[in-house]
Structure 1
Amino acid sequence: MSDTRRIRSAGGATAGRADMAFFWAGRFVATLGVIVTAWAALSTGSMLVHGHPAYLVLLVLTFAVSLTVALRSWLTRTVRHRGRTGIRGVLVALSLGVIALAWWLVPSSAVEPALSAMDSDTSVTVTETADQIVLQPTGAVSEVGVFFQPGARVDARAYAAVLRPLAAAGHVVVIPKQPFGIAFLSTGAFGSARAAHPPVERWVVGGHSLGGTVAAMDAQSFAGASTDPVVGLLFFASYPANDLSGLGAGVLSISGTNDGLATPDKISASKASLPADARYLVIEGGVHAFFGDYGPQSGDGEPSISQDAARAEISAASVDFVNAFDH
């Protein structure tokens, strides 16, 4: 019998099969944690700096704990009897869950032309902080602003190019950076931003995919507000989770015929949940990933239009929609 199978703890109890199993499970999970978090950091790239800091904190903590446990376990040559098998099993399961979460949360990073659209010029000033991006017109500023929620696990910068024409048209555009890239973790962001951008007095809220669903919740909450009300709701390949048929705000839904996620059937089914006067624009040949600039998306359809052409249609329709609230 190997030496490690007969090592005794300080209390004299013999290490058994369960102790051996947890010993190797600890080594495996800790090593996996180091590998996964390192891969996640490399895959995330500049988003580690430009995204919401919550994901960076998760990766750093997971990597540090995994590395510490991995080094200690691989340097240990003894298997000790520790008991508490149930607690140890729960800890292993939780550790695997955190590592899986770190892997799943790897975001889709922004690509051109969105990255270039993050540069300020004579018509638009771009300000980026840890929790938001603001596109500010350099000239006259409209009383109507735009608050736009990104899609799930998508770099907030990915929407800079498609939304920049709104800022060039005089509208303040605020794009929140969601914790872990999940819009449902950013439900309070609009409430905090409403009074923070004078001279904006009315808002169009919008979002892409899951972000649009959260924007619809904001529209429902603030459409009747006495100050800084929501006057418009803008969907990019998205639809509401609740019945908004009585919403007191204008609605524009922009979708793509080849979208494999927010499919035409899903968009059509959502019409019953929106006001009767809601407007719809369908981008022929457009797909889900064409509403931002972050590369292809798993499960999406195949486009039959260029992304530049689709982006131009989306931007023009959005500007017309928001401009209408100036009158």
Structure 2
Amino acid sequence: MDLTLTRGDKAFFWVTRVVSALGVIVTAWAAVATGSMLVHGHPAYLVLLVLAFVVSAVFAVRSWPMRRVTPRKRKVARSALAVMSLGVIALVWWLVPSSAQQPALSAMNSDQAVTVTETVDRIVMTPTRAESTESTESTESTVGVFFQPGALVDARAYAAVLRPIAEAGHLVVIPKQPLGIAFLSTQVFASLRDEDTTVTRWVVGGHSLGGTVAAMNAEAFAEAPTEPAVGLLLYASYPATDLGGLQAQVTSISGSNDGLATVAKIDASKAVLPSGSTYLVINGGVHSYFGDYGAQAGDGEPTITHDAARHTVSQASVAFVNSVEE
């Protein structure tokens, strides 16, 4: 070790060591906590984890020897890099998603009624036959559903609650949002409309933050000449802007015990939604009951079973989508 190193140099090297070691530990923990979503989620988070881990590991190895005095200009640059690294590490920790649980995972399996296709950026549920018929011919409706997940929630977590819509004959598309943020997938619906499907009209929907983005899509495409958004389906959500003049049917489903999208917030949203909107409150329901991803920080205490709430949400959703088709 160079004996000319000052206390400041030594402190700088230790800060670099600690930050880089923290980066290795946090990214490794995040990978374990994310679990199967490393494979089933949007690849953006996996790429972020790999980059953060590799960079942290390289700096951890290179920073251990105290080789020489660091020039002042390089200290300033490296100090700024250390601060940025702490920001990235915090981001990696914050972005750890909530993974899907049963019965959503089982709902991802295809059967004679619904074919479930999963790609790197979406989940598609395609009806293959009606439940009430023995025919194997497609009974797919011309009304499709595009549903945005809530923030940092596995797209698969909504498979069980939305599958009945596909069983009723409607194409259902659930995007996998980059880093689990709906605002990073605002253009996905526009791209989907350009694809070749049997859908001529869409119901856009979403849970929590996903519902806010769905409202933006509804506003943008409600009066489109082709494949318009004719319905807006909100799960524990509300729009960020005034949609009082929206030319689309709206249904808002919420939980009475929701600690995030509270009853007061849902009531306040009525002033910015069309006058003909319908509202359903699941008595005893909470925010996390609109998907299957476990408990959520800040949520309320449920007084109804998750199965009962899911069934009610699914049936109300099917009825709403069917009504749009009529």
Cα-to-partner distance string for 1:295-316 (whole Å, 9 max, x where unaligned): 0000000000000000000000
Higher mean C-alpha displacement, 80-89 vs 189-198: 80-89
**Aligned ranges for residues 157-236 of structure 1 at < 5 Å?**
157-236=156-235
SS at match of 2:230: strand
Is the Cα contact below 8 Å between 2:20 and 2:57 reproduced in 1?
yes
Is the Cα contact below 8 Å between 1:224 and 1:248 reproduced in 2?
yes
Report what 2:109 is aligned to. Answer: 119
SS at match of 1:134: strand
Question: Are positions 1:68 and 2:68 aligned together?
Answer: no
Cα-to-partner distance string for 1:88-122 (whole Å, 9 max, x where unaligned): 22111100000110000000000000000000000
Alpha-carbon distance in 1 for matches of 2:148, 2:6: 53
Higher mean C-alpha displacement, 77-86 vs 169-178: 77-86
Alpha-carbon distance in 2 for matches of 1:35, 1:171: 45
**Aligned ranges for residues 270-281 of structure 1 at < 5 Å?**
270-281=269-280
Is the Cα contact below 8 Å between 1:260 and 1:301 reproduced in 2?
yes
Question: Are positions 1:141 and 2:140 aligned together?
Answer: yes
Report what 2:92 is aligned to. Answer: 102
The one-letter code of the counterpart of 1:91 is L
**Aligned ranges for residues 1-327 of structure 1 at < 5 Å?**
6-7=3-4, 15-74=5-64, 76-84=65-73, 85-139=75-129, 140-327=139-326
Percent sequence identity over matched residues? 66
Give, in angstroms, the shift of residue 155 of structure 1. Answer: 0.1
Cα-to-partner distance string for 1:32-80 (whole Å, 9 max, x where unaligned): 0000000000000000000000000000000011111112222x14342
Is the Cα contact below 8 Å between 1:19 and 1:82 reproduced in 2?
no
Is the Cα contact below 8 Å between 1:219 and 1:232 reproduced in 2?
yes
Is the Cα contact below 8 Å between 1:16 and 1:81 reproduced in 2?
no
Unaligned runs of at least 5 residues, structure 1: 8-14
Is the Cα contact below 8 Å between 1:223 and 1:248 reproduced in 2?
yes
Alpha-carbon distance in 2 for matches of 1:18, 1:87: 15
The one-letter code of the counterpart of 1:252 is T
Alpha-carbon distance in 1 for matches of 2:319, 2:68: 69
The one-letter code of the counterpart of 1:67 is A
The one-letter code of the counterpart of 1:249 is A
- Corresponding residue pairs, total: 316
Alpha-carbon distance in 1 for matches of 2:257, 2:68: 57
Alpha-carbon distance in 1 for matches of 2:314, 2:195: 25
TM-score between both structures, scaled by the size of structure 2: 0.95
Alpha-carbon distance in 2 for matches of 1:106, 1:319: 31
Q: Over the residues paired in the alignment, what is the CA RMSD in angstroms?
A: 1.0
Cα-to-partner distance string for 1:185-227 (whole Å, 9 max, x where unaligned): 0001100111325210000000000000000000000000000
Is the Cα contact below 8 Å between 2:13 and 2:66 reproduced in 1?
no
Is the Cα contact below 8 Å between 1:195 and 1:228 reproduced in 2?
no
Is the Cα contact below 8 Å between 2:203 and 2:232 reproduced in 1?
yes
